[in-house]
Amino acid sequence: MLYPDGIKGVSPALHRAQLDKVTLLGTLLGLASFFFPGYLTYRPNRLASGSSLSVWEAVSPLEMAILPGLWTLILLLAFLKGNNKGLNFFSGMAAGAIFFADFWLAGISAGKMGGGGDQIARVSLGAGAWVTALSAYIVLFASRRHLAESKFLKLTVSILGPFMLLLAAAGGHLNELSIVKEFLAREERFIFEFFQHITLSGLAVGAGIFTGVPLGIWAFKNRLAGKVFFFFANTVQTIPSLALFGLLIAPLSLLSEKIPFLRQAGVRGIGWTPALIALALYSLLPIIRNVYTGLKIIDPGVIDAGLGMGMSRLQLLLKVEIPLALPVILSGIRTAAVQSIGNTTVAALIGAGGFGTFVFQGLGQAAPDLILLGAIPVILMALAADILMQGLISLLTPKGISGGQR
């Protein structure tokens, strides 16, 4: 068949399709992961060094065909899809399927190696399994870029892999993996530390907003005050989190000893109080900076128009300046939230709880999967906070600023 562009047997859409280099990179990395020496690591107990197993040794030939088949499909699509929405959707779905199959196959293999009832033996994910998951994410990222106009398709390819993985975990198909064994052994403690972590980081950001927004407005209105606030906030950011926690122990212990009311209220040199103060201090800089910047970039003509209409300075601030600066202010809060979730991990060292409890227990016991049990939820919480704040920024951005589109 001769198409209008004169190329026999090739449609114009396929002829114009360009190689997706990001998808190709993810595919080649995923195929290379088959040759990594460690897909899974088997340990007779959690403290033993263990032995690494390649994917060829860990997975049966029939099960093994799943991953190469999906990678071959994605490789073909990398050369064909270009900006085609449908082909990018299929590429993203295949990447989600690889993400699921990677952990599902590891869970099946772990069940075979662990005998299904050995609570002492540990089967951990090795470099090959993690690289496969990373490769699938790279392909998924490349596909999402071309689905920006369709939020439904973008959401579908994003949640397919994690949703199927949650179903597999709920069905007990991953129970023999070491990290899942660590979770099952500490399920109640995990839930408790989750609420500790999210409450502490949330209160810290809330305190940062309550303090930082007025200070940012003051910094904008008064240049000298701005220099003082930014000097203080910048200085706090240069202090390592563990050092700042340590610096607060002595004064808070002294206050607790001298003032019975504070001691009865729970103020001590260790625990929540120094952690909350330190985390709130860390959240000040991004909030103050973005409040200041958001107010600074407003067109002076807008202010003059408001004054010409007879608005007071307070009315201008509340009805004009803050609404226009809100997207920038929320971006600062977004940064503070992600930063606070990460820094809360270190607060476990001073008895404040949170997922850092598992991280430092794992370090002390040389148990990598226990470290991951604390680290992975922190990463997921930070990503969730970032996505939620992005959505809030999009929702609250005035149409005039966003170009009339939400």
Best-predicted range by mean pLDDT among 30-39, 154-163, 380-389?
380-389
Which residues make beta-bridge pairs with 125? 40
Compute φ and ψ for 82, nearest 5 degrees: 50, -125
Which position has the higher pLDDT, 149 or 15? 149
Of 29-38, 127-136, 265-274, 292-301, minimum mean pLDDT range: 265-274
Question: CB-hemisphere CA count at 13 Å for 14?
Answer: 10
- Burial, 180: exposed, middle or buried (Cβ in 10 Å; 0-12, 13-18, 19+)? buried
pTM of the model: 0.83
Sheet holding 40-43, edge to edge: 51-53, 40-43, 122-125
Which ranges in 259-321 belong to alpha helices (H)?
260-264, 272-296, 300-308, 313-316
Q: Which fold has domain 187-402?
A: MetI-like fold (1.10.3720)
pLDDT tens track for 225-261 = 999 999 999 999 999 888 888 888 888 888 878 887 7
Give the residue-averaged pLDDT of 153-182.
87
3-state secondary structure of 52: strand
Residue 381 has pLDDT above 90, yes or no: yes
Residue 276 has pLDDT above 50, yes or no: yes
The reported pLDDT for the residue numbered 396 is: 82
Which is it for the CA torsion 369, 101, 33, 58, positive or negative?
positive
The reported pLDDT for the residue numbered 357 is: 94
The two most distant CA atoms of the chain are separated, in Å, by 91
The continuous run of DSSP H or E covering 43 comes out as: strand 40-43
Average pLDDT value over all residues in the chain: 85
Q: Output the CA–CA distances (angstroms, integers) from residue 335 to 151, 194, 288, 385, 388, in the order listed.
A: 24, 21, 12, 9, 12
Domain boundaries, the chain: 12-181, 187-402
The reported pLDDT for the residue numbered 15 is: 44
Q: Output the CA–CA distances (angstroms, integers) from residue 150 to 86, 180, 342, in the order listed.
A: 11, 35, 32
Residue 9 has pLDDT above 60, yes or no: no
Residue 10 has pLDDT above 50, yes or no: no
Which ranges in 146-271 belong to alpha helices (H)?
151-170, 178-185, 187-221, 223-238, 241-258, 260-264
pLDDT tens track for 32-50 = 888 877 888 888 777 777 7
pLDDT category of residue 284 using cuts at 50, 70 and 90:
very high
Residue 116 has pLDDT above 60, yes or no: no
pLDDT category of residue 211 using cuts at 50, 70 and 90:
very high
- Burial, 21: exposed, middle or buried (Cβ in 10 Å; 0-12, 13-18, 19+)? exposed
Q: Which of 50, 57, 54 is nearest to 33 (CA)?
A: 54
pLDDT category of residue 214 using cuts at 50, 70 and 90:
very high
CA 293 to chain centre: 26
Which residues make beta-bridge pairs with 122? 43
